[in-house]
């Protein structure tokens, strides 16, 4: 699984043990709403207007490219280490606003949830809501494991080189996903 902008944000806060529960709730709750929209047939509506999918693809690519370049800039900038005392922790509201932006303003999220999962759910006919419920549960489990499980990697991220490696991995992943969206893969 590729780590997206939203996932990288949750991972960073999980490593810092900063606002993890509200971030997990926002991400899993947002996924649940978007998956429900896809299962309810929003993907069928979008099929009637193929230009929307193209617009979302290119907007998603631009969004991911910017996020990837920001991660690359962090990787090439001054190295940071995990702050175990929580000094420098961000206030809750700006963190939540950033999370909401990374979730709802990220066209890649719509491609994965509404379009992809909505299209897959259509294969199950009357049972599509069971598929949707399973996808929602998987999202909840994923974000819970990512946010709260990140603390297990905290000793590794006490070293600035680990943050640099994470940022390089995020940058490469974001840029490759952006490229694949542009190329239509």
Burial of 104 (0-12, 13-18, 19+ CB in 10 A): middle
46: pLDDT strictly greater than 70: no
pLDDT digits (tens, 9 = 90+) for 89-143: 689 999 999 999 889 988 778 878 888 888 888 888 889 999 999 999 999 999 9
Mean pLDDT of 152-169: 86
52: pLDDT strictly greater than 80: no
* Confidence band of 159 (pLDDT split at 50, 70, 90): confident
Alpha helices in 38-127 (DSSP H): 43-47, 50-76, 92-104, 107-110, 118-122
pLDDT digits (tens, 9 = 90+) for 10-33: 988 998 899 999 999 999 999 999
Going by C-alpha positions, the residue among 19, 109, 119, 7 that lies closest to residue 59 is 109
Maximum distance among all Cα pairs of the chain, rounded to whole angstroms: 54
What are the Cα distances from residue 30, in Å, to 17, 114, 177? 21, 11, 21
Residue 142's pLDDT is 96
% of the chain at pLDDT higher than 70: 89
84: pLDDT strictly greater than 70: no
The DSSP call for residue 19 is S
Distance from C-alpha of 16 to C-alpha of 95, rounded to nearest angstrom: 13
Structural domain boundaries of the chain? 5-183
47: pLDDT strictly greater than 70: no
Cβ atoms 170, 3 nearer than 8 A: yes
* Confidence band of 3 (pLDDT split at 50, 70, 90): low
Question: How many CB atoms are located within 10 Å of the residue 71 CB?
Answer: 22
82: pLDDT strictly greater than 60: no
Residue 54's pLDDT is 77
Q: What is the mean pLDDT of the chain?
A: 85
Question: How many CB atoms are located within 10 Å of the residue 23 CB?
Answer: 27
Question: How many CB atoms are located within 10 Å of the residue 11 CB?
Answer: 20
Cβ atoms 174, 64 nearer than 8 A: yes
DSSP run (H or E) holding 181? helix 160-183
Residue 167's pLDDT is 86
């Amino acid at each position: 699984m590729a780590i997206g902008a939203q996932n990288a944000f949750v991972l960073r806060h999980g490593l810092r043990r900063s606002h993890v529960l509200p971030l997990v709730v926002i991400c899993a709750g947002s996924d649940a709403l978007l998956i429900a929209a896809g299962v309810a047939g929003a993907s069928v509506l979008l099929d009637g207007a193929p230009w929307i999918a193209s617009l979302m693809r290119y907007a998603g690519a631009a969004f991911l490219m910017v996020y990837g370049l920001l991660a690359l800039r962090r990787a090439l900038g001054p190295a940071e280490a995990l702050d175990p005392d929580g000094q420098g922790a961000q206030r809750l509201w700006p963190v939540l606003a950033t999370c909401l932006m990374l979730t709802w303003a990220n066209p890649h999220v719509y491609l994965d949830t509404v379009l992809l999962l909505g299209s897959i759910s259509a294969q199950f006919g009357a049972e599509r809501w069971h598929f949707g419920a399973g996808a929602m549960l998987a999202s909840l489990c994923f974000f819970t494991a990512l946010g709260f499980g990140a603390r297990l990697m905290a000793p590794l991220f006490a070293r600035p080189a680990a943050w640099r490696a994470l940022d390089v991995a995020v940058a490469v992943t974001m840029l490759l996903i952006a490229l694949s969206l542009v190329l239509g893969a």
